[in-house]
Structures are given as C-alpha cells and as structure tokens.
Structure 1
Amino acid sequence: MMFDLDFNVISRTWPYLLTGLQYTVQLTVIAAIGGTFFGTLLAMARLSSFKPLALFAAGYVNLMRSVPLLLVIFWFYFLVPVIIQSITKSEYPIQIGADRSAYITFIMFEAAYFCEIMRAGIQSITRGQVNAGYALGFTYWQSMRLVILPQAFRNMLPILLTQTIVLFQDVSLVSLLNVTDFVGAAVKIAQRDSRIVELYLFVAIVYFALSYTLSFLVKRLQKRIAIIR
C-alpha cells in the first residue's frame, strides 16, 4: 500500500547511492570516450580501400550490433578468462574482474555503434573537400585529421550524445556482475531493507530526470548546429 512506503530509506542511504551514481557516470564517460576513439578508427577502416581491413572492421561492427549487450558482458566475464587459460596453459583462469570487464566490454560494444555514426559523418563531407586537401599536399591521414574528422564530429555530435544517453541507461546491466553502479547500489539496499518499491521508484525518477534533461540539451545543440550550417 502507498501509505506503507518509507522514502526515508533514500535519505539514510544517499551516500551509498551517490557512490553508485558516480560509478555509473564514470563508466558512461570512459566508455563514450573510448567508444568514440575506437569507433572513429573502425569507421576509417570500414571506408579504407584496403579490402581485408574494411572486411575485418565490417565483420566486427556487424557482430557487435547483432548480439545483445548482456551476452557480450557475460561472454567477456566468463569465457575470456577460460580462453586465455587455454592459450597460456595456466593452471587457473585469469581473473579479469567485474570492474575491468565492464569497462572493456562497454568500450568494445559502443565502438561498433559509434563507428556507424562516425562513418555517416565522414561520408556526409563532400568529396570536393577531400580533393582540396589533396591539392594542398595533405596525405590521406592529414586530410582526415585536419579537414574531414573535425567537420564529421560537428555534424554527428548530437547523434553521438544521444548514443551516450543510451549508453548511460545501458550501464545498469553491470549490476548483474555484482558491480555497485547506481542500480546495483539500489538493489543491494532494497534487498537489505526490504524497500524494493521505494528504491526502484527513486532510481527510475533519477534516470528519467537525467535522461530527459540531457535529451533536451541535445535538441538545443542540434538546433544551434543546424543554424551554423
């Protein structure tokens, strides 16, 4: 019943919840930066005229985009140590750890999505600007670094930020590895104090408030970029 709810549990456990929220934001930022970096490299590889490199990048992206993130997390956490053990012939599986698995998995997974975003951004730049770079004596990599990528990042920034908001929501999956993110902290408190409704409702409100605010700011940014164009 609603009159049985005790929201004082939130104020009592707020420092622990805040620690979990800080972890969620930290993992989101690091995964977004790493995903953007490797995603950009993958995008350039997919657009490369060197076919083996382009096929490898395309295969990686298609694989990651075709498998649920939860399975990727479990595969890396449970299977990679066993695979490394079989390769190194060690006596016991190497313990990668839940935290390290979370960071590596999210960077690997998000790189595939950021790759497609950056590939669209690179292809949105007219061929004439590429030729202009070559006319100035730039190499392919110099043209990419000085001419193409800055414009691609600007064009795709709203979409990159939107994907980061999705990433922020997906980070809650690491709680299944017993990592104390925001959701994981709430789950532990809810089970300990038997206040599942209060904690889950609070988490939902926080996620909604942050995601809605960030989405609103992204829309404002998208309008400003459209005006600049």
Structure 2
Amino acid sequence: MGNLAIIPARSGSKGLKDKNIKLLNGKPLLAYTIEAARESGLFDEIMVSTDSQEYADIAKQWGANVPFLRSNELSNDTASSWDAVKEVIERYKNLGTEFDTVALLQPTSPLRTSNDIIEGYKVLKEKAANLVVGVCEMDHSPLWSNTLPENLSMENFIRPDVVEMPRQSIPIYYRINGALYIVKVDYLMRTPDIYGDRSFASVMKKENSIDIDDQMDFTIAEVLISERIRK
C-alpha cells in the first residue's frame, strides 16, 4: 500500500505530433513529469501508461516503470484518462500490488514542480480529502466574456453590474489546470463522480500551469523553462 503516480502518455497526438516525447529544451516532454514525481519523494511507484513500446522505452530511460502497455480499447481518442488510471490500478492489483492513493500527472504540464505535488499531498492530508485537483488563477475574468450573435453586436455583452464594478473588486476566478490530480484509490473505484464528497483545490502558480496542446504552448514552455534554468 502506498502512493502511485500515473503519467498517461498515449501516442498518436493529432494536435502536435508525438508531443509526449517531443524534445523540450533537449529532453522528452514526459521526462519533466517523471523527474518532478521522483524529486517529490512521495511515490512508491511511478508508472507511464502508454500504448507505444517506443514511449515505454523512453519512459524507462528517465526512471519510470512500464510493467505493461495500455490496452487497445483505451488507446483511442475517446478513452478518458480516468479509464486508463482505473485500468492501471486493476492490472497492478492482479499482479498483487495495491495502493492507497493515485496521482494523475499529465506529461503536458512540464512546468509543474515537485513542490506542487508535495503541496497537493499536504492538502489531501490536512483536508482529509478524497480528491485534490490542481488549479490556477485565470488570466482573464469570465465576467468579461460572452457569446456573440451573427451580427457581432456588443449590446448587453457585459452585464451592467460588472461594467460598473471597479476592477479590483472583480472576484478571482480559477480554472482546473490539468497538472495535478490526487485521489484516494478506494474513492476513485467506487464513485461515478470524483468531484463530489471531500474534493479540494490545490492552488498552483500560473507559470507552473502551462498545458501543452499545440506549438504555441510548446514555444511558451520552452521560453519559461529556459528562464527557469538560467535563474
């Protein structure tokens, strides 16, 4: 029993080809997440869930375990990360190994640090939580957003009470950043809605919350990592 880290790294990305192993400042993208998990010192097992032997070999080179490949049923675009997590938990159980908690660490969040993971586990303990999710402050308040009609009219685009609100009085909004999910295994396996009983946020810095989806995100991450290394 202990803590399991799962890094989902399916091959065949359409937005950015092979992004999970694409070199970012000289290292495969997934390597940053493996290193952060290892440096946290919290995990009994760090596992990369992938459908690719090439990805598996790269993951092992950077210190992760890949005792089995992901099933074909969960290797397509429609499969969810949580389905893949549950598959990993069941397969470890069949091998005689069970865990208390599982952390889902997306490889597309290379600026997430070991300290972010440590802080997430602190929230899990202090709140006696079933689920902890990484969030960050939004760049722009959704109160200043709306849909547009076909004629592009801005009439009533912003609610009157928001227009009159001083900028410093606008409430802070947060978004799920995709960088950190920590959940108790028994809770995950028995509930259809993980965002339910005793789920809490772990607030991360915006610069640690970059989620790589396309080339622009990748370029931004390169700049930020280069600056972090320089400092």
- Which entry has the higher C-alpha Rg, 1 or 2? 1
Which has the larger strand fraction? 2
TM-score, normalized by length of structure 2? 0.26
Which has the larger helix fraction? 1
TM-score, normalized by length of structure 1? 0.26
